[in-house]
Structure 1
Amino acid sequence: MLLFDKCQTRPLMHKILTTWMLVGSPETKLSMASYLGELALSNDVKVLVARTVGPSLINLMKSGNMESREAALKALNQVSSCDPSAKILVDEGILSPLVQHLFSGQNQLPMRLKEISATILANIVTSDCDFDSIPVGPNNQTFVSEYIIHNLLHLISNTGPAIEGKLLQVLVGLTSSPATLPGVVSAIKSSGAINGLVQFVEAPQQDLRLASIKLLQNLSPNMGQELASSLRGTAGQLSGLIKVIAENIASTEEQAAAVGILADLPEEDIGLTRQLLDEGAFEMMISRIRMIRQGEPRRSRFVTPYLEGLVGLLSRITFVLPNEPKVVSLCRDHDLTGLFTELLQQSGLDKVQMVSAYALENLSQESKNLTKLPEIPEPGFCGSIFPCFSIQPVMTGLCRVHRGSCSQRDTFCLLEGPALPSLVALLDHADVKVVEASLAALSTLLDDGVNIEGGVAVLCEVEGIKPVLDVLLEKQTENLGRRAVWVVERLLRTDDIAYEVSGDPNVSTALVDAFHNGDYSTRQIAERALRHIDKIPNFSEIFPNA
């Protein structure tokens, strides 16, 4: 043992491994496997062990002698904790016997060894292996086949916390890969296991709770409605997630994952939004966002995903503004228009900027319904008979877009504050999703039901016309091109802008291209835009009623 403790150098370790495992007696192999299970090995030694004696350890693991199996499993647990060595073990065929160990009856393998097997499996799934093609089951099922995943889900629901936590980590690893995620999602849906997985959110064991939350975060983009329905149940898991999100001063991995789950759930689920509102979750999120912007007392590496999740979750409240007085009051009380405007300036956080721009779009769309229009007095008797005697008062201080009394806090108006310059600046962003969101927010100034001429004038003042035209010319995505054509057509309704644009052949070419290749609606809008600049193609009779 003393000799082995000192043999951490690669040449000496290689010599001992070769002598003891490849040509040693069964007793020698058992002894060395036991030593390997107790030693703290460096990563390069783990790779050496896996490459040299990995097959022998796997064979020892499959032996009928329980002592040999336990020694081999403990050694493989050590070796598999490094990605390169784990991949070597997978190539040597460790998956199938591991799965057999886990799925065997309790009388065949003690629970302590099932726990080690689950730990090895959790180590292995983080390696870069093609798990969806490696046969592990009795009928050549792969590791992500429905049969295997169903069995893992059954074990998760019917074993102790130690094994449950490790198996949840296995599913976390499989759902972290785009190649294996669909198979796991399909198996969970077919088994109806989502309710059982959600229950672990309130597990008293921190590692078990963390593994379950990370798994649910991976599942939420693909099982959003199922997960939302489960969380809205009476078991209290939604409250448990909110408690996790709010419990620490500094951001943790668990908090970032918990808020990420809720941020990915469908915005159209109004029931979930109302439940979050009743739980006081949105006030807590606002407080946390402002705390992070002011500087956390202790910065952590999870502060960025935590902030992204908070902003994404807070934005869902802006999707239910119509006919929700309680939501309107909350947005006013906490000046959410101002907060999302500040978040537009979070340079380097593309997701925060994108979500904030979409939130401002939702808020701005509601402005025309919240603006207080001026009360014009009725003309007197003489004024009603002789219009020349009716002198209309001159209204000052009214919003040029919404025609009433506006403010950033009370009517969510984008004109009252620094939102417009920030949104225009983001039209030149490298991330096309940020550009799409910013253009969507600016489009609300030109929408039906507002004073479009006033909106165009405001965009001129913030030098937003050229950036919009540049978006049209670049046409980075189909959605962005469609939105740009819509905005440009509205801009061209102003004669001065139409006159200036008519001399730019690039804009005309871009509109003609949209007229040729866009969908039905876009082609109609592009034709109207071309009419504004007298550049309509000769074949415009395609849309005679446009």
Structure 2
Amino acid sequence: MIANIMDISAMIELMSSSHQQIRHASLRFLVELSRSQALGEKIGSATGAILMLIRVKFNHHVDSFAAEKADEILKNLERFPDNIKQMAENGFLDPLLNHLTENDSKVYVAEKASTSIIKMVQSGNTIFRNAAFKALSQISSHHPNGKILLETGILNIMAEMMFTRRIYDELMDSKKEAAAILANVLESGVEHDSIKVNTHGRRLSSDYAVYNIIHMLKNSTPEELNINLIRILLCLTKSPRSMDTIVSVVNETEASYTLIELINNPHEQLGVAVIKLLILLAPHIGNTLVERLCKTRGQPLGLMECPSGTNHITEKQALSARFLAKLPQQNLTLNLALLNNNVVPTILERIFLIQRNGTRTSRHATVYLEGLVGILVRFTTTLYEPQMLFLARTHNLTSVFTELVIKTSSDEVQRLSAIGLENLSLESINLSRPPQIKKTGSKKLFRLPNLLSSRSVETRKMPVLCPVHRGACSSETTFCLIDAKAVERLLVCLDHENDEVVEASMAAICTLLDDKVDVDTSVSLLSEINAIQYVLKVVKEHKQEGLLQKSFWMIEKFLARGGNKSVSDISQDRLLPASLISAFHNGNDSMKQMAENILRHLNRMPTPSATYYSM
């Protein structure tokens, strides 16, 4: 009833009365009315009502009682979204910020009030701009709002503020806030190639924009701004064109030094962000990054340190290990730097702890384990360096990788371990040597009786020769896969669903069929453990070209060197001919040749020596 007859506008006007009693009476009455569901919305819709209430609220020094009542009325009016929007449009954003805790509210505000808030950002009032930035930061943090905010033009505005906006008398850093909002929206997955960064039409993906973003990255820059700049760059790396630009700028400027130096920054979140970017850059400019890393104080050892001094694995620790593993593995400078800092005992100890405690103890444990194993693999790529060879022998890396290739829940650890075994096994033929028999100085001093000087005694004194490498072998000194009992484990990995794990495991086994070793004996040993059946299953279940090529290579070896049994086993596989014919028609030149050779072995194609007659 009151809602229908009450003139709210008149009551609002009374708040401006020159008589204090009238002002106070009108405010008391409005407090009571604002508690009503019906009247609360009506008060908010009255022309100028919310603006007047905000003015009274902030004039506390003029009339503290009126300010208190106005504040109470505004709180009652917050129950209605339209009222909150009007409060924000009139410079009072606290209610808006308070209601942005729920994602549904963020979506609603993004749809209804973001345009008004953006106008406040562009205004010259520092208080309004500060509050508006906070609101946009919260709205943009909810990824479904990304598309809505993109349509309002927020990205163009934020980018322009980052590059051109200068308001020196502001208490806040508008660049930092703009970068945070831009990063939030980009992380929602919106298209960024169309975003303009200035009035000249320069795009966010342009050389100009990337150069300026990277140029702003400095140790002297506030950590929050550095973090947000790197977040933007991480989003840009998803575009091949932008990635090429980032790689070019970092490689050709001092930015590579800056990025490496930021690793040492005590701000944990900044360190995490910069390492994520460096990991993405490593495949493109890895050697440049290694050079910078090894010239930076405290590095590369700093990436291996455990700041907490506990067994707790941080995200930065895990990413640091991954970064070291992703840098060019054959870079001897980095490998020697790690070796000289004696990191291997620490790596092995941490691998043992993770295996003992399990990866579930920390959400970063798996990434950390993969990084640690990747660092170990580095040392197997430069075994020509005597120090690396000594390290691999001292720590028996063959046995370490043999254990890891099975005892892990990580595909990447299995793949890396197989690669490590392959690298080590490739050196076995060079390290395996016939045993040297020491000659007795004088036969007169000691001579066995004829009955005891038998061949069996001499045989017992002779070291056992490796049938494949034709010399004295061990897993520790010559990295022999047979002595390490690694072959059986690698065969089990051929049953894996992951193509990369299977291919790495097969590559390690292929080292035992190299022309430098005794291939006949190796084929015989592999046949005893039914290796060819694993290979045939790979052909049946995997279609990756590199993997099929290795499989055909092995099958051809077994057919040529394995005798009738291998031919029989292979010819009985009903699905193999179809795979061979497909490769013969569609594969690369190498695949076609191997498929043709195998088909001839199986009498599926005529031999070149066959005589053809024409009519």
2:373–2:416 CA contact under 8 A, matched in 1: yes
Q: Which residue of the partner structure matches residue 227 of structure 1?
A: 289
Does residue 168 (structure 1) correspond to residue 230 (structure 2)? The answer is yes
Task: Give the 3-state SS of the residue equivalent to 1:99 in structure 2.
Answer: helix
Superposition map of 1:496-515 within 5 A: 496=564, 497-502=566-571, 504=573, 506-508=575-577, 510-511=579-580, 513-515=582-584
Q: Which residue of the partner structure matches residue 385 of structure 1?
A: none
Q: How big is the shift at 1:35?
A: 4.3
Does residue 335 (structure 1) correspond to residue 396 (structure 2)? The answer is yes
Q: Which residue of the partner structure matches residue 263 of structure 1?
A: 325
Q: Which residue of the partner structure matches residue 494 of structure 1?
A: 562
Unpaired stretches in structure 1, ≥5 consecutive residues? 22-27, 379-390, 542-546
Q: Which residue type is aligned with residue 289 of structure 2?
A: L
Does residue 425 (structure 1) correspond to residue 492 (structure 2)? The answer is yes
Superposition map of 1:399-438 within 5 A: 399-438=466-505
Unpaired stretches in structure 2, ≥5 consecutive residues? 1-70, 440-454, 611-615
CA distance in 1, matches of 2:381, 2:259: 28
Q: Aligned pairs, how many? A: 518
Task: Give the 3-state SS of the residue equivalent to 1:100 in structure 2.
Answer: helix
Does residue 14 (structure 1) correspond to residue 14 (structure 2)? The answer is no
2:231–2:273 CA contact under 8 A, matched in 1: yes
Q: How big is the shift at 1:37?
A: 4.5
CA distance in 1, matches of 2:76, 2:414: 55
Q: Which residue of the partner structure matches residue 188 of structure 1?
A: 250
Q: How big is the shift at 1:291?
A: 1.4
Deviations 1:213-254 (A, max 9, x none): 222223223332332222132544423223258955221111
Q: Which residue of the partner structure matches residue 268 of structure 2?
A: 206
The answer to which of 343-352 and 477-486 deviates more is 343-352
CA distance in 2, matches of 1:347, 1:90: 44
Superposition map of 1:467-478 within 5 A: 467-474=534-541, 476-478=543-545
CA distance in 1, matches of 2:231, 2:309: 23
Q: How big is the shift at 1:297?
A: 10
Specify which of 56, 61, 84 is matched with residue 121 of structure 2.
61
CA distance in 1, matches of 2:243, 2:188: 15
CA distance in 2, matches of 1:162, 1:538: 71
Does residue 144 (structure 1) correspond to residue 205 (structure 2)? The answer is yes
1:58–1:94 CA contact under 8 A, matched in 2: yes
Change in CA separation of 1:369 and 1:40 when aligned onto 2, cut-off 3 Å: same
Q: Which residue type is aligned with residue 606 of structure 2?
A: P
Q: How big is the shift at 1:167?
A: 2.2
CA distance in 2, matches of 1:247, 1:183: 39
Q: Which residue type is aligned with residue 15 of structure 1?
A: D
Q: How big is the shift at 1:6?
A: 7.4
Task: Give the 3-state SS of the residue equivalent to 1:125 in structure 2.
Answer: helix
Deviations 1:152-186 (A, max 9, x none): 22222263334223323332344367786445434
Q: How big is the shift at 1:360?
A: 0.6
Change in CA separation of 1:271 and 1:19 when aligned onto 2, cut-off 3 Å: closer
Deviations 1:84-143 (A, max 9, x none): 234422331111221222222352755533332233233333212111233333233332
Q: Which residue of the partner structure matches residue 24 of structure 1?
A: none
Superposition map of 1:368-447 within 5 A: 368-375=429-436, 397-447=464-514
CA distance in 2, matches of 1:503, 1:38: 73
Task: Give the 3-state SS of the residue equivalent to 2:138 in structure 1.
Answer: helix
Does residue 302 (structure 1) correspond to residue 364 (structure 2)? The answer is yes
1:119–1:166 CA contact under 8 A, matched in 2: yes
Deviations 1:480-539 (A, max 9, x none): 122112111111122121244345564455445545554444444445444544444356
Identity %: 37
Change in CA separation of 1:518 and 1:64 when aligned onto 2, cut-off 3 Å: same
Task: Give the 3-state SS of the residue equivalent to 2:328 in structure 1.
Answer: coil
Instruction: Kindly name which structure, 1 or 2, has the bigger radius of gyration based on alpha carbons.
Output: 2
Q: Which residue of the partner structure matches residue 284 of structure 1?
A: 346
Does residue 124 (structure 1) correspond to residue 185 (structure 2)? The answer is yes
Normalising by structure 2, what TM-score? 0.76
Q: Which residue type is aligned with residue 364 of structure 1?
A: S
Q: Which residue type is aligned with residue 325 of structure 1?
A: P
Does residue 466 (structure 1) correspond to residue 533 (structure 2)? The answer is yes
2:160–2:196 CA contact under 8 A, matched in 1: no
Deviations 1:321-379 (A, max 9, x none): 1x22222222222221111111111454111111111111111111122223234799x
1:54–1:92 CA contact under 8 A, matched in 2: yes
Change in CA separation of 1:35 and 1:475 when aligned onto 2, cut-off 3 Å: closer
Q: Which residue of the partner structure matches residue 454 of structure 1?
A: 521
Change in CA separation of 1:206 and 1:375 when aligned onto 2, cut-off 3 Å: closer
Change in CA separation of 1:311 and 1:148 when aligned onto 2, cut-off 3 Å: same
Q: Which residue type is aligned with residue 470 of structure 1?
A: K
CA distance in 2, matches of 1:366, 1:442: 14
Q: Which residue of the partner structure matches residue 91 of structure 1?
A: 151
Change in CA separation of 1:218 and 1:7 when aligned onto 2, cut-off 3 Å: farther
The answer to which of 120-129 and 445-454 deviates more is 120-129
CA distance in 2, matches of 1:347, 1:239: 26
Change in CA separation of 1:471 and 1:195 when aligned onto 2, cut-off 3 Å: same
Specify which of 112, 122, 135 is matched with residue 52 of structure 1.
112
CA distance in 2, matches of 1:396, 1:209: 53
Change in CA separation of 1:235 and 1:347 when aligned onto 2, cut-off 3 Å: closer
Q: Which residue type is aligned with residue 337 of structure 2?
A: Q
2:304–2:317 CA contact under 8 A, matched in 1: no
1:55–1:92 CA contact under 8 A, matched in 2: yes
Task: Give the 3-state SS of the residue equivalent to 2:113 in structure 1.
Answer: helix
Q: Which residue of the partner structure matches residue 324 of structure 1?
A: 385
Task: Give the 3-state SS of the residue equivalent to 2:435 in structure 1.
Answer: coil
Task: Give the 3-state SS of the residue equivalent to 1:326 in structure 2.
Answer: helix
2:159–2:197 CA contact under 8 A, matched in 1: yes
Q: Which residue of the partner structure matches residue 131 of structure 2?
A: 71
CA distance in 1, matches of 2:167, 2:183: 20
Q: Which residue of the partner structure matches residue 425 of structure 2?
A: 364
1:315–1:356 CA contact under 8 A, matched in 2: yes
CA distance in 1, matches of 2:81, 2:609: 80
Task: Give the 3-state SS of the residue equivalent to 1:134 in structure 2.
Answer: coil
